[in-house]
Amino acid sequence: MTQQTFRIGLLGRGTVGGAFADLLEQRAGHVAAVTGLRPRITGVLRRSEGDFDQILADSDLVVELIGGLDPARDYVQRAMAAGKHVVTANKQLLAEHGEELWATAREHGVQLRFEAAVGGVVPVVRVLQESLAGAHVERLHGIVNGTTNFILTRMADTGASYADALAEAQRLGYAEADPTDDVTGKDAAAKMAILARLAFDTPVSLAQVRYEGIEHLTADDLEYARELGLGLKLIGTAERVDGGLSVRVHPAFLYGAHPLASVNGPFNAVTIESEAITEITLSGPGAGGPQTASAVLGDVVSAMIPPASTHEPSERLELVDDVVSAFYLHVDVADQPGVLAQLAQVLGLQNISVKSFVQKGLGENARLVMVLHPVLESQLSGAVDLITGLEFVRGRPRAIRVIDEAF
């Protein structure tokens, strides 16, 4: 029996696009057996090849792997308005224009699939949209950027500086020549905006996600953290707070029992917490052409047998900025009598107590490293401002959040 062809228009044929084309050719027979339709690329658009209007006319589904906002946004909108399903790996596009695009998909009764936009091959989008659709999610924690996780792993394992670990990541292909979006936390923030939208059913844009990166971290931070039983990751968090929603990305220390503490190298992982399920963790490779291509193909198969599109938000939760966290605090001081007493007094004025501390060095090169009990971020910021002004303090203290929860 002759199988009907399912026509795919491919926008962009770089690393991921090329890997997708190869994978589709290899797995077309299996997809045909599953769906009854044989997928085939019928047109490719890149700078030196293809015409979008012709590709659109000749396709049942469009795969967008161009990246960026323009012209990707226009192409995706036009494809869905023409009644075509769309699969994309474009997290920036969804983080900034997701509600508009999902509304277009609903209006025209087509699929907009985007598993590959978050977490590489880790199927967190499908789990949130389908497997946990009935769960009342309380919190997500995620390592959703493989580049920064590789850098921090190398700094912890070898004592390398941030600059040296970044250079190694670039040599191995884990970091781009311009790694700005990765190391500043912007890439992770875009992914957390998407995950928060799915998990909490409320609109979240990239502009609403507070984020900071890893550029300021030092090998000393990781060395002292080991003595305190901590490991350092760039963590994305989305959680319910006092009836609102906090979404943020920042470096954070984890105790060894945390399920994300052992996720190393270029791997991604997400923990999902809900009273109904307690906690589950999904992990796997976070980047790479073949891995991302696998997620794209999975979305293509899903769109060939489409369930409902991403629904309209059912909630409008207020975004919360000031949240409670434990902190690691690194203070460079001159080793003089009364230093500890004055620091304790300043922290006490802000109602901050110390859980543990380590002192290193003598004389003008002394360092105090401590873990503080949970406190509002605004209180910690006020304490850091006061400590910075003390005569014996050499430079602004470094504060890094500590995720201090039992699992």
* Ordered structural domains, the chain, with CATH: 4-117 (3.40.50.720), 124-286 (3.30.360.10), 324-402 (3.30.70.260)
Residue pair 247/237 in contact by the 8 Å Cβ criterion: yes
Work out the average pLDDT over 115-141.
90
pLDDT digits 0-9 by tens, 382-398: 999 999 998 888 889 99
Q: Which of 317, 315, 347, 316 is nearest to 331 (CA)?
A: 347
Residue pair 256/209 in contact by the 8 Å Cβ criterion: no
Q: How many CB atoms lie within 10 A of CB 290?
A: 14
Is 185 annotated among the ligand-binding residues? no
Work out the average pLDDT over 78-104.
96
Residue 365's pLDDT band, with cuts at 50, 70 and 90, is confident
DSSP of 146-165: HHHHHHHHHHHHH---HHHH
Inter-CA distances, 280 with 96, 134, 173, Å: 28, 15, 30
Query: Residue 361 pLDDT more than 80?
Result: no
Query: Which pair of structure tokens corresponds to residue 145?
Result: 């950027």
Is 137 annotated among the ligand-binding residues? no
Q: Using CA atoms, how far apart are residues 113 and 64, in angstroms rounded to an integer? A: 10
Q: Using CA atoms, how far apart are residues 145 and 178, in angstroms rounded to an integer? A: 15
Is 16 annotated among the ligand-binding residues? yes
Residue 199's pLDDT band, with cuts at 50, 70 and 90, is very high
Is 14 annotated among the ligand-binding residues? yes
Residue 272 is classified by DSSP as: E
Q: Using CA atoms, how far apart are residues 105 and 292, in angstroms rounded to an integer? A: 23
DSSP H or E segment with residue 389: none
pLDDT digits 0-9 by tens, 26-43: 999 999 988 889 999 999
- How many residues comprise the chain? 407
Query: Residue 249 pLDDT more than 70?
Result: yes
Is 13 annotated among the ligand-binding residues? yes
Secondary structure (3-state) at 399: strand
Instruction: Please report the pLDDT score of residue 337 as a whole number.
Output: 80
Is 18 annotated among the ligand-binding residues? yes
Active site residues: 191
Is 91 annotated among the ligand-binding residues? yes
Pick from 13-27, 79-93, 217-231: least confident:
217-231
- Residue 79, Cβ density class (10 Å: 0-12 exposed, 13-18 middle, ≥19 buried): buried
Query: Which pair of structure tokens corresponds to residue 102?
Result: 């999902």
Residue 307's pLDDT band, with cuts at 50, 70 and 90, is low
In sign, the C-alpha dihedral spanning 18, 19, 24, 27 is: positive
Residue type, 349: L
The per-residue pLDDT of the chain, averaged, comes to: 91
Residue 121's pLDDT band, with cuts at 50, 70 and 90, is confident
pLDDT digits 0-9 by tens, 256-297: 889 999 999 999 999 999 998 889 999 988 767 788 899 999
Q: Using CA atoms, how far apart are residues 171 and 186, in angstroms rounded to an integer? A: 22
Instruction: Please report the pLDDT score of residue 306 as a whole number.
Output: 66
